Amino acid sequence: MDSWTKQIVLPSDQPAISIKEQLTRWLVPRRIRGNFRMEHRILLNGTYQPTSTILQPGDTLTMTWLPNDFEVATSNYVTDDSQPVDVLFENDDLMVVNKIKGVKTHPNSPGEDGTMMNFAQAYLQAQGKAAYMVHRLDGDTTGALIIAKNPYVVPMLNQMLRDKTIRRTYLAWVRGAINEASGTITAAIGENPDDNRTRRVDGPNAVPAVTHWAKVHTVYQNTLVRLDLETGRTHQIRLHMQSIGHPLVGDPLYNPTDDYEGGLLLHAASIKIPLPFTNEVKSIGAPLPVSFPRNFK
C-alpha cells in the first residue's frame, strides 16, 4: 500500500500549542486530523501522544498519510519528457514552474500527453515523486504555475487559494487607452448558456469574482496592466477586462475580432505562497517569455 510520511523538527520559536492546534494551523483537513488521531498516525518524538499534548521547540512530529485520506490519492498522468520543465522554485512538497505558451495545464482524457502535468510527471519521476494539480492556467497563458509533489499538500494549498493567502499577480496587454491609474472589478461570473466554452458576467449560477488592476503604461491605444486576483474563477481576467471595455489583446473568446496574431497576451508574473509546514512566505517571479511584447510597435 502507498503511504506518504512527513517528518518535521519544530523550530526554536515554536509556540506552546497543542498538536491539534498545530495541525489546524498547517491547514491539515479536519477529517485527516481525525484519522491521524484514531489510527495513531502522528508521532511526537517517535511515539504516539494525545493531540492535546503541548509542543516544544525542537520536538519532532512524524505524520503518515494513507490513500483513504484523499479523494484522489494517486497521480496517473502519462509521463512526457518531450519538453523540459522550467522550474522556478521547488522543495520536498511542491514546485512552481514557468508554463509554456500554447500548452494546456492538464489532460482532458486518460492517456493524453503534451500538457504541463505530463511534463511535470516526467520531471518528478526521477525524484520518485508524482505531479498533482493545484490550479490551472489557460492554454495561451504563460507564467507561474503551482504543482504539488504529493497528495497531502493539495488540500492545504487549495485552502490557501480559498483563503486568499496565495496571491497571484498577472500582466496583460489590453485594447484601448486606460485613463485611470487603477481600479477594482467586482462583477460576478456565471455560465454562458449560449457557449459552454465561455463565461458571462451575472450569468446563470454566478459566483463572486474580484479583480484588482493597475495601469503600467499605454502604447498606441494598448495598455499594459498588472492584475491581482482575490478569486480564481474560470476566465476571470479575460471576462472582467472585457466587461469594462478593455478586452485582452489576442483573446479568441472574448475579443474574437482582434487582429493580433501572437495569441493571448496574459502572463502569470508572480505568486506569493506560504510554504506548507513552515512560517516562510515565498515570492516567486516568472520571467516574461519572448512571446510577450514589452512594448507595442
Q: Quote the DSSP letter at residue 278.
A: S
Classify residue 263 as left (phi > 0), alpha (psi -120 to 50) or beta.
Answer: left
Residue 295 scores a pLDDT above 90:
no
- Whether 167-268 and 70-163 are alike in CATH topology: the answer is yes
Q: How far apart are CA 37 and CA 68, in angstroms?
A: 15
CATH architecture of 4-69: Roll (3.10)
Give the rounded percent of residues in the chain with a pLDDT score beyond 70.
99
**CB distance 138 to 148 below 8 Å:** no
Please tell me the predicted confidence (pLDDT) of residue 102.
Answer: 93
Give the cell for residue 236.
476571470
pLDDT band at 297 (very low <50, low <70, confident <90, very high): low
| Dihedral angle, C-alpha 79, 169, 269, 234, nearest 10 ° | 40
Residue 94 scores a pLDDT above 90:
yes
Residue 37: phi and psi, rounded to 5, are -70, -50
Q: How far apart are CA 41 and CA 37, in angstroms?
A: 7
Q: What is the pTM of this model?
A: 0.92
Q: What is the pLDDT of residues 210-269, one digit of tens each?
A: 999 999 999 989 999 999 998 889 899 999 999 999 999 999 999 999 989 889 999 999
Is the CA virtual torsion 118, 63, 16, 158 positive or negative?
positive
Q: How many CA atoms lie within 13 A of 86 on its CB side?
A: 14
Q: Which residues contact 196 (CB under 8 A, 6 or more apart)?
A: none
Q: What is the pLDDT of residues 112-148, one digit of tens each?
A: 999 999 999 999 999 999 999 999 999 999 999 999 9
CATH architecture of 70-163: 2-Layer Sandwich (3.30)
**CB distance 245 to 119 below 8 Å:** no
Please tell me the predicted confidence (pLDDT) of residue 276.
Answer: 97
Please tell me the predicted confidence (pLDDT) of residue 65.
Answer: 98
Please tell me the predicted confidence (pLDDT) of residue 172.
Answer: 97
167-268 folds as Pseudouridine synthase (3.30.2350)
Which ranges in 74-168 belong to alpha helices (H)?
A: 116-125, 154-163
Give the cell for residue 212.
484588482
Residue 105 scores a pLDDT above 70:
yes
How far does CA 64 lie from the centroid of its chain? 24
Mean pLDDT (the chain) is 94
- Residue 168: name the closest of 278, 269, 274, 97 by CA: 269
Residue 275 scores a pLDDT above 70:
yes
SS (H, E, C) 181-194: CEEEECCCEEECCC
Active site residue 138: yes
Residue 225 is inside which H or E element, if any? Answer: strand 222-229
Q: Indicate the domain borders of the chain.
A: 4-69, 70-163, 167-268
Q: Quote the DSSP letter at residue 68.
A: G
Q: What is the pLDDT of residues 29-68, one digit of tens each?
A: 999 999 999 999 999 999 999 999 999 999 999 999 999 9
**CB distance 88 to 35 below 8 Å:** no
Say which of 69, 80, 138, 251 is annotated catalytic.
138
